[in-house]
Structure 1
Amino acid sequence: MKISVAFLLLAFFCLCGCTAKDERPVVWIYTSLYKDTIAEIQPLLNKAFPNFRVQFFQAGSEEVSAKVSAEELAGGTRADVLIFSDRFWFEEMAGLKRLHAYAPKNTEKVDDMFKNKDSFYTVVSLPVMVMIYNTEAMTADQAPKTFKEMALPKWKGQFATGSPLASGTNFTTVAFLQKAYGWSYFEGLRHNDTIAEGGNSSVLRRVQTKERPVGWILLENILRLPPEQKKIQIIYPGDGVVLQTNVLGIIKKKGEMKNAEAVADWFFSPEGQVVLTHSYMYPTVPGVPAPQRAPPLADILKKAQKWTPQFVQEILKDREDIKEEFARIMLQ
């Protein structure tokens, strides 16, 4: 069978076209955002920035920070933009001048307590730690009303928390509650046989099975459940939710930073902030509505403890001691 030269040339060029390498520059985002959130964000970034590609590495906050640190020790991280919840790590990197000083567009509207004073990072969204209870184990009247009361003897064998050794948001919660109530509070939790293991999914599982019918957990984990489910109910503690911070920073590198800066701008744009509320986290730019089925941010902030510069520096200095003391009290 004879095959024309024209046909062979056409096939060759089609093959070359199909396998052509994308030569556009890449902006790498290392993040602890949920995978379904990334799936929603990716096409929006592709549309917004046709001149470069955006790729993600997704893992928990502890793993993301460890990966960046390991890559830096090996000669330089691939990451350009970082988004995860360990604000104390960002503060440490800012002190070492490892982050690029940049104030994304719209961040002038963000409350000062959510920004580094030298613009090395800005909080892009706000998860909140609340409490939950199983309605098959107690009524709303019987359910606890505060974090503080969980150290009372009446709650023996009833409470589950995550571990600050496994979860950045649980570390922040421990740091705030220790500052408010001292280590005697955690001694009370230990005396009550509180289970303090794993992350938020572990707490949810224990409350659902009634192994421990009360727990502290991120609000987003509960708002992701079907609205029609009634077994697990939310408690907004009377002594204030624990406000978490999902932080955005840019790694300091030689050369052009405009693509990374443009991506940072996008996350603080109305489009970027709205997408983050789909993960049931509060936006930090005023004017963007709260997540569905969540109370207004103004109500949340009324009783929440404040992220002061003094608190950030104090916890940064003491964080290893906090983890060690928690482990001594709760895990030994």
Structure 2
Amino acid sequence: MRKRISRRDVLKGSATIALGAVFASPTCAAAPEPTAITPELVAAAKKDGKLVFYSSMDLPVGEKLGKAFEAAYPGITVQIERSGSERLFQRVAQEFESNIHAADVVNSADASHFIPWKKSGWLMPFVPEDVAKYFPETYRDPDGMAVTTRLWLSSIAYNTNLVKAEDAPKSFADLLDPRWAGKMVKGHPAYSGTIMTTTFQLVRELGWPYLEKLSKQRVMQVQSSTDPPKKLSLGERAVMADGNEYGIVLLKEAGQPVESVYPSEGTPTISGPTGIFASAPHPNAAKLFQAWLHSRETQQFFVDFTAQHSVHTQVTPKPGRRKLSDIKLMKEDPAGVEAMTEEIKTRYARLFRV
């Protein structure tokens, strides 16, 4: 059995990088000049012939993106390696420790992962032209190491066949009502980056006593943030204590009996950055994919298809869906998540006995 590697092991005693809203102020050389998608880049990428994408995106989403990229650039195949973000972090650390460099591009649902990766020199500086023009500075690394590909929320939700709208919980505090004991489902922070970030924000805003009380509610524990919406739609549980809100939106649009609730305390917000590894075996294909992924066309497709959000200023929300500006949000803090990850995993496992 391979040993478990923590972020502390990755940093090897180095001081952590402090982040702002999502990314830090510069710590290395200035970011490289923006790169456009040119015939020369496409030709070089086709010589690579392949791209390996480590991703925390839902597998159908990653596969659809991969097929769209292959259709746009015939001759380049995309290999998707999907896992929960916390497992993905472990895999990357173990591979680098063993001098294995299989991945070209990585997307995580836990923005704090990019802190030790950047500190360790594992990321390649690369700035797509669209990122330089249309992505706010707070959502892109100033040294060009990563950019926020997607934003989404972790909300409460309920099954409309099992819970009346007037009876549904309106806040996180409402989840502590005895009426919901044995009727809730939630994800696990040791597997899911979404749930890790959500748990950090809940601890920061409501404190550990809140989670201690929630743990006594006989909550069904699942792994991925994609699992609670599915359990809800199947009627296996009446209420979702956390999980990805976009899953609820898509299920509702498909006619399933689910409804999102945006808690009065605020809804946890999660960003999913993407970066290229400096050791990428297919570096030109990786650059082309990173530039394509953050183009207006791909970002618009991503928003429409997944019900997540883009910070690309030319992308518009799909009609009929809630805008982020209409929702009270909890503030992101990847540096805070990075500092508390091990504590969250340990205390959560003890409280929920998982």
- With over 3 angstroms needed to count, the CA separation of the structure-2 counterparts of 1:160 and 1:103, relative to structure 1, is same
Provide, for residues 72-130 of structure 1, a one-character-per-residue CA deviation record: whole Å limited to 9, x for no partner: 22223121111221212222111111111223222233234433343321110112111
1:18-97 alignment runs, 5 A limit: 24-50=48-74, 52-97=76-121
Query: 1:266–1:113: structure 2 CA closer, same or farther, 3 Å change rule?
Result: same
Question: Which of these residues, 337, 340, 345, is aligned with residue 315 of structure 1?
Answer: 337
Q: Show the counterpart of 1:174.
A: 199
TM-score (norm 1): 0.81
| Partner Cα distance (1:59, 1:326) in 2 | 21
Q: Which amino acid aligns with 2:165?
A: A
| Residues 1:238 and 2:273 are matched in the alignment | no
Structure 2 counterpart of 1:279, from 298, 306, 313: 306
Residues 147-169 of structure 1: per-residue CA shift (max 9 Å, x gap): 23323445433432111122221
**TM-score, scaled relative to structure 2:** 0.77
Q: Which structure 1 residue ranges, 4+ long, deviate > 6 Å from structure 2?
A: none
**What is the root-mean-square deviation of aligned Cα atoms in Å?**
2.7
Q: 1:164 aligns with which of 189, 201, 211?
A: 189
1:25 touches 1:52 (CA, 8 Å); kept in 2?
A: yes
For 1:39 and 1:314, locate their aligned partners in 2 and report how far apart those are by CA, in whole Å: 32
Q: Is the 8 A contact 1:127 1:282 kept in 2?
A: yes
The residue correspondences of 1:1-332 to structure 2 (distance < 5 A) are 24-50=48-74, 52-108=76-132, 109-208=134-233, 210=235, 212-215=237-240, 216-225=242-251, 227=253, 229=255, 231-253=257-279, 257-277=283-303, 278-291=305-318, 293-300=320-327, 303-307=328-332, 311-331=333-353
CA contact (8 A) 1:46 1:53 kept: yes
Deviations 1:263-313 (A, max 9, x none): 21111101210221212211121221224642123224xx21222xxx322
Deviation per CA, 1:1-53: give whole Å up to 9, x if none.
xxxxxxxxxxxxxxxxxxxxx96443322212333333432343234445754
Shift of 1:245: 1.4
Alpha-carbon separation, structure 2, partners of 1:329 and 1:54: 40
Q: Counterpart of 1:234 in 2: which secondary structure?
A: strand
Q: Report % sequence identity.
A: 23
Larger displacement relative to structure 2 (257-266 or 87-96): 257-266
- 2:67 and 2:159 map into 1 onto residues whose CA distance is 38
Give the aligned partner of residue 6 of structure 1: none
Structure 2: gaps spanning 5 or more residues: 1-45
For residues 106 and 306 of structure 1, do their structure 2 counterparts lie closer, same or farther at Cα, with a shift above 3 Å needed?
Answer: farther
Q: 2:341 corresponds to which letter in structure 1?
A: R
Displacement after TM superposition at 1:66 (Å): 3.1
Give 1:19's aligned residue: none
Question: Matched residues in 2 for 1:210 and 1:37: separation?
Answer: 24
1:188-240 Cα distance to aligned partner (Å, 9 max, x none): 21233333332345423543465541112212222332636352222122222
